[in-house]
């Protein structure tokens, strides 16, 4: 699915947000894994099984009001092969429910290695003459540090399969400025990356007016966000940092265009762990996640009107 599909889902739900499924065992209510632990199945496989159940239940609770999910691959890799299987099944389950899937992989490499990453997450692989899908995500995050060599394989998959990428520009973490704000011939490095994104996106415009090559721009840096928006009026922004990292709805307003589009705001812990604030020991984790997702939607929509 292209960025055009994401925009359609945002319009249909009236909700410019994405739920980050950063699957960690401490985010699960204890009762959800009690049977696995009671039966002595304390293993990577048992943990991955519990996380899969949690993810599926959250998707069931959210798919009609939230347009997209963003699973962070690192947390699934932490559980080995079983975790990767849970990642793959979570992607498939969300797409079957009509959700757009952004795999947060932040890959960056060159040559055949970059092609392998791009084909695995956005395209297909060749197995003895057969063309087979792998993860089948709609979009991925990409690290541009290696330059065009590391990004072009992902652009190739975007062209071939109507997929999208979000390139790291100005990230939400506190030390991002150590490199991203360094001067590069009169402009900060993040601005130079934004200029390059405009080049990489040539020929990848969609009917909705937004390009298949988007940008990751943190909510915790609202001034930089405004600069990147001026440089990339037709790029979609993936905006981390809202909620648990401290940014407010007002902080992300500059990421949006006047049409109320142009950005999708991520929340992970605040939604996945909403049950921890209700005092019901997690028995209401689906209802709590849904309530927090609605609160976040309303908060952001009010700020960008």
Active site residues: 106
SS (H, E, C) the chain: CCHHHHHHHHHHHCCCEEECCCCCHHHCCHHHHHHHHHCCCCCHHHHHHHHHHHHHHHHHHHCCCCCEECCEHHHHHCCHHHHHHHHHHHHHHHHHCCCEEEEEEEECCCHHHHHHHHHHHHCEEEECCEEEECCCCCEEEECCCCCHHHHHHHHHHHHHHCCEEEEEEECCCHHHHHHHCCEECCEEHHHHHHHHHHHHCCCCECCCCCEEEEEEECCCCHHHHHHHHHHCCCEEEEECCECCCCECHHHHHHHCCCCCCCEEEEECHHHHCHHHHCCCCCCCHHHHHHHHHHHHHHHHHHHHC
């Amino acid at each position: 699915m292209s960025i055009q599909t994401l925009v359609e889902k945002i319009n249909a739900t009236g909700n410019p947000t994405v739920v980050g499924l950063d699957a960690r065992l401490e985010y699960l209510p204890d009762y959800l894994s009690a049977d696995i632990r009671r039966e002595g199945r304390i293993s990577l496989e048992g943990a991955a099984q519990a996380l899969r159940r949690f993810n599926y239940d959250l998707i069931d609770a959210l798919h009609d009001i939230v347009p997209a999910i963003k699973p962070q691959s690192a947390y699934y890799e932490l559980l080995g092969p079983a975790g990767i299987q849970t990642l793959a099944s979570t992607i498939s389950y969300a797409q079957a429910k009509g959700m757009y899937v952004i795999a947060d992989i932040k890959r960056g490499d060159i040559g055949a290695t970059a092609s392998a990453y791009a084909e695995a997450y956005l395209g297909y692989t060749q197995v003895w003459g057969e063309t087979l899908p792998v993860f089948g995500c709609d979009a991925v995050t990409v690290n541009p540090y290696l330059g065009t060599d590391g990004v072009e394989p992902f652009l190739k998959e975007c062209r071939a399969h109507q997929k999208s990428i979000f390139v790291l520009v100005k990230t939400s973490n506190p030390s991002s400025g150590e490199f991203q704000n360094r001067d590069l011939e009169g402009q900060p490095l993040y601005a130079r990356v934004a200029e390059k994104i405009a080049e990489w996106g040539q020929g990848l415009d969609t009917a909705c007016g937004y390009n298949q090559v988007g940008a990751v721009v943190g909510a915790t840096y609202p001034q930089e966000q405004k600069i990147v928006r001026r440089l990339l009026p037709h790029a979609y922004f993936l905006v981390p940092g809202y909620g648990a990292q401290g940014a407010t709805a007002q902080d992300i307003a500059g990421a949006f265009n006047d049409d109320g589009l142009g950005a999708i705001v991520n929340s992970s812990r605040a939604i996945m762990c909403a049950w921890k604030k209700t005092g019901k020991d997690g028995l209401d984790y689906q209802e709590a996640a849904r309530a927090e997702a609605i609160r976040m939607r309303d908060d952001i929509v009010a700020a960008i009107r």
